[in-house]
Structure 1
């Protein structure tokens, strides 16, 4: 299915030139990735806001003028729920999911927007519902429109991670950490998301010392990684992950060394200025994926 949360919910069309960017929106900032071209080098921007994202959209407009964007949201804008797959046709799935999740969320039924994705494994009776407030997303798009920003696709952190290692045929476990957020653990292979979970207890991982890592935190994290590996292999019946990839700030290299002692897999640190900026870059990767889908449909 389309990875967009609001498929075809673009209320406007822009004429003339625009700049293509990848955006990652958090509770307090808009992170921007602009790819290099003949006139400009690769660029990263960040615009903070205090009340509404519209403040950051205004700053983006002042900096770049009209823009077209793929947007990744952080979890403050959505909730993931693992639910039984409704026995309905695909055209009726979204409506059926609203009634499946209504008692699991505090959002009023009339304001629930739900999309979903499934693991690439066969014969699954479960799917993951992505639940957001329709009013909040609509306001987000309207505010973008007012500031010459055309949002052509909306995705989430878990799915954005699948844009890492898209050409690698071996599954990789990716640990993404943003300051003051729970650790995101995913397994990706060739642009597909095979599993995802939030690992609690590591929200301050970027601030711990090497000594604190050695006093038990790295071993505790190793246990969580091993549980996920066991699930991936035994429950999903997949081959073992080829490597463990760390996307984080702070003592990343020290953590990689400590984890390496507990696993046969190589533990790598993904080179990036910040996890926020990486998610903006992964958002930009959706332009290429959208073009591939268009070409497949045309063929």
Structure 2
């Protein structure tokens, strides 16, 4: 992956997210004060979405050669695992984690690109106590293919991110000081629950209910999916309380999905407050009035989160 270019770049990034029916592109400006400002939120329909021609088209129209680009992996394109943090020097960390992952992946470790993310410990815990970290693994062939796609389109891909981190970025804007916050979103890959605190990701869970199922017009089918979601959430919250007893979750937020009644159902079946999220509350959407619609907020949700990245964690 290329990291530098002689061409002058803008300070902001273009975040490009591939969906089943097209590509979402977001440009966002972060201000020292006030809400992050969404400058561009454009959708380019196309199937397959992983198309150099489609990427070239948006590159021409948005003058993407003047930006650094970031993209997101899909839910089935990587594995996110929790492992015990090795007691090694920082420069040996990835090698040590790679060794621990060799029997946990569904493909050979030699074919894996690895990255790691620390899970902060309880500050009052005894020194030297073992703690956990996240390990992200994706096939080398997939990473190379994604890099090649951007190269063919003439775009500078600098970062490949994952949905958990994009969702964590949005949750950071919604945290209450000293408390944790849960955030639940749905897309074509299924449900994604994250729990974070003080800008750090502590828990991630996938829920096998897709957005299409959530919007099923049959009320009996929706009731089954709602029950499944509530059960998975309860299990995850119970696990979190046991594992991270030093963090109290203030509330669970539901990302935009247009799923009628889910917020009320979960509020009645969970022991923490449940609220629906409107992106108007955290982003300046003046330049993109189309994002006032819940369906559009759902479509762009992870791309918006990925556009808020500040660190350079690169697969």
Do both share a fold (TM > 0.5)?
Answer: yes
Partner of residue 157 from structure 1, selected from 145, 163, 168: 163
Cα distance in 2 for partners of 1:43, 1:143 equals 21
Number of equivalent positions: 278
- Kindly state the Cα deviation for residue 23 of structure 1 after the two structures are TM-superposed: 2.0
Secondary structure, in 3 states, of the residue corresponding to 2:307?
Answer: helix
How far 1:115 moved relative to its partner?
0.8
1:268-293 CA-partner distances (Å, limit 9, x unpaired): 2222524331111111101xx249x9
Instruction: Specify which of 172, 176, 182 is matched with residue 185 of structure 2.
Output: 176
Correspondence for 1:219: 227
Per-residue CA deviation, residues 95-136 of structure 1 (Å, 9 max, x unaligned), is: 222232233334344321111113223444332211112232
Cα distance change, pair 212–144 in 1 and its aligned pair in 2 (3 A): same
SS in 1 for 2:172: coil
Indicate whether 1:112 and 2:108 are aligned.
no
Once residues 209 and 190 of structure 1 are traced to their aligned partners in structure 2, the CA distance between those partners, rounded to angstroms, is 39
Structure 2 residue 92 is the aligned partner of structure 1 residue 84: no
SS at match of 2:300: helix
User: Residues 113 and 221 from structure 1, CA distance in 2 versus in 1: closer, same or farther, beyond 3 angstroms?
Assistant: same
Question: Which residue number corresponds to residue 241 of structure 2?
Answer: 233
1:193 aligns to what?
201
Farther off after superposition, 111-120 or 277-286: 111-120
Q: Deviations over 1:51-98 (max 9, x none)?
A: 844343222212212132232222232112233333322211212222
TM-score by length of 2: 0.76
The SS at the match of 1:103 is coil
**Residues 125 and 264 of structure 1: CA distance in aligned 2, closer, same or farther (over 3 Å):** closer
Deviation of 1:255 after TM superposition, in Å, equals 0.8
Q: State the Cα RMSD in Å.
A: 3.0
CA distance in 1, matches of 2:235, 2:276: 21
47, 56, 75: which one pairs with 1:58?
A: 56
In structure 1, C-alpha distance between the alignment counterparts of 2:74 and 2:18, rounded to whole Å? 6
Give the Å deviation of 1:36. 7.0
Match of 1:5 in 2: none
Give secondary structure in 2 for the equivalent of 1:10: coil
Residues 163 and 282 in structure 1, CA contact (< 8 A), matched pair in contact too: yes
**Is contact 2:267–2:273 with CA below 8 Å preserved after alignment?**
yes
Mapped contact 1:214–1:258 kept (Cα < 8 A): no
Tell me the distance in 1 between the aligned counterparts of 2:183 and 2:46: 27
Aligned equivalent of 2:147, options 141, 146, 149: 141
Q: Could you tell me the TM-score, scaled by structure 1's length?
A: 0.79
Change in CA separation of 1:268 and 1:153 when aligned onto 2, cut-off 3 Å? same
Q: 1:15 aligns with which of 7, 23, 32?
A: 7
Aligned equivalents of 1:225, 1:134: Cα separation in 2: 33
2:72/2:162 contact within 8 Å kept? yes
Deviations 1:184-205, CA, capped at 9 Å, x for gaps: 1111233221111112355644
Task: Give the Å deviation of 1:29.
Answer: 3.6
Which SS does the other structure have where 2:257 is aligned?
coil
Unaligned runs of 5+ in 1: 1-8, 294-299
Q: Distance in 2 between matches of 1:205 and 1:269?
A: 19
Corresponding residue of 1:259: 266
Does the Cα contact within 8 Å between 1:186 and 1:197 map onto a contact in 2?
yes
